[in-house]
Structure 1
Amino acid sequence: MDYRVPPGVEAIEKLQNFIKVNRLTANTRIPSERDLCEMWGVRRSTLRQAVDTLVESGELYRVKGAGVYVAVSKLVRNMSGADAMIDELMQQGIPMSKKIISARVIEATKQISKRLRIPLGRKVYEYIRVREVGHIPSIMETSYIDCEQYPDFDKHYNNKTSMASLFRNLYHQEMVKGEERISITYASESEAGLLDIEANSSLFFTAGVLTNEENVPVMYYKQLLRSDRFKFVSMISK
């Protein structure tokens, strides 16, 4: 029995192959629908449906009155945690930098005390940072660390140091496991300004706790990630 690829699927494959073979980079305009239809001998409606599918999947994007363009490839956010993601991006050679927006000592709220398993009102360090990935503001992070358990942390942490290295080298602590929750939220005016996006743009929201070898919480964190820059994956093994 002969198997024939549906026209819509074939058109999608042709578009993807065209981008790959011609090495079209992000923000490059693809040929018009009419030109592609003539090139491949496909119906206009079939091609438009294929383009719509690739726009929805984030591989292409439309500019009203200007055509269809190749989208920026989304970065992979592995669900193994924030530090794992940062390490992976750096290993890929993607430029990474961070800027501390706010650093202060506050009293632990109910949520913070519950996550860090400390008394309500105990002093904690609060750090708010924006990470640039590939020179684009992409992640906003807020971290909470127990002042009593990690004294003088604020004297050592800055834009050039990493929290993981400080825990390891200064306090002889390794963040070995954790728990993370993921949801969708929308950018406030201030968040949008820091991430260089429109207010009310959709964002991935993650919150988690990292613990040491004795299962004692080391850090409680929250992240806002631009949904146009990231996708989430989960590695499954038997």
Structure 2
Amino acid sequence: MENRIPPRTEAVEKLENYITSNHLPPNTKIPSERDLCEMWGINRTTLRFAVDMLVESGQLYRKKGSGTYIAESKLVRNLLGVNSLSTEVRQLGLPFSTHILSLRVIECTKQVSKKLHIPLGQNVYECIRVRSIEGVPCIMETMYLDQNQCPDLEKYYHDKSSIYSIFENIYKKTLVAGEEKISVTYVSEEEAALLDLEEGEPVFFATGVTTMADGVPLEYYKQLFRADRFKFVSMIKRRMS
């Protein structure tokens, strides 16, 4: 007995193939539901399911009162990776830049004290920065560093330098491991302005700690990622026994 592909699955495949075979660039409007139904001889309900699936997966997006469009390709952030974000983006050949909004010394809060394993009230660097890819602000990050581990950081760190290179070359410290948690939140008015979004739009919220070879935490961070620019995955490799 021949195994027939379910109509909804076939519609998804047809739509994906239409986008690929026609080399449609991002932000291109796809034909109307009526035109696609006539083209493929399927009903409106089946086609709408296919469109909904590709919208949900981030391949398409809708504009109210306008139609459905091809979405920008999303950058893949490997949850199991230890490379810096700038390294991962530049490996893809994409322009990447950092703008430091503030870099100051503050007394650590209870939360920062717990994350960095240092006494409450000890001095830490608080660095707030916005990171752009291809000129588009995509990540807002707040980073906390133990001042004792990286004294005089303000002398070395600026928009054109790499914080990880400073760790390794100036302070002789290498980040080798970490723990990161991902959730979803909604941007405030201030965050929206910095990320070129509308207030209340959903974004990925990442928080984590990176540690050195001796297990001592060096960095505690909180990051907002534009959901239209990133997706998070876990790259898993089979271990051979």
Stretch deviating more after TM superposition (69-78 or 166-175): 69-78
**Matched letter for residue 94 of structure 2:** I
3-state SS of paired residue (2:205):
strand
Unaligned regions of 5+ residues in structure 2, if any? none
Deviation of residue 37 (structure 1)?
1.7
Superposition RMSD in Å: 1.3
Contact 1:96 1:132 in 2 (8 A): yes
Contact 2:84 2:164 in 1 (8 A): no
Cα distance in 1, alignment partners of residues 85 and 153 from structure 2: 23
Cα distance in 2, alignment partners of residues 38 and 141 from structure 1: 48
Cα distance in 2, alignment partners of residues 17 and 158 from structure 1: 45
1:221 is the counterpart of 2:221: yes
Contact 1:81 1:180 in 2 (8 A): no
Deviation of residue 105 (structure 1)?
0.7
1:14 is the counterpart of 2:32: no
Cα distance in 1, alignment partners of residues 159 and 165 from structure 2: 13
Cα distance in 2, alignment partners of residues 81 and 152 from structure 1: 29
Cα distance in 2, alignment partners of residues 93 and 39 from structure 1: 38
Deviation of residue 147 (structure 1)?
1.3
Normalized against structure 1, the TM-score is what?
0.96
Aligned residues: 238
After the TM superposition, list the runs of 4 or more consecutive aligned residues in structure 1 that deviate by more than 4 angstroms. Answer: none
Contact 1:107 1:121 in 2 (8 A): yes
Stretch deviating more after TM superposition (155-164 or 59-68): 59-68
Contact 2:82 2:176 in 1 (8 A): no
Q: What residue number does 2:67 align with?
A: 67
Q: Percent identity?
A: 58
**Matched letter for residue 106 of structure 2:** I
Q: What residue number does 1:78 align with?
A: 78
**Matched letter for residue 69 of structure 1:** Y
1:172 is the counterpart of 2:172: yes
Unaligned regions of 5+ residues in structure 1, if any? none
How big is each residue's C-alpha offset from its partner over 1:32-76, in whole Å with a ceiling of 9 and x where there is no partner?
Answer: 222222221112222122112211221111222222111112211
Q: What residue number does 2:149 align with?
A: 149
Deviation of residue 99 (structure 1)?
0.3
3-state SS of paired residue (1:42):
coil
Deviation of residue 81 (structure 1)?
5.0
Deviation of residue 133 (structure 1)?
1.5
Deviation of residue 82 (structure 1)?
7.1
Normalized against structure 2, the TM-score is what?
0.94
Contact 2:30 2:68 in 1 (8 A): yes
How big is each residue's C-alpha offset from its partner over 1:13-40, in whole Å with a ceiling of 9 and x where there is no partner?
Answer: 1110010000001000111222222221
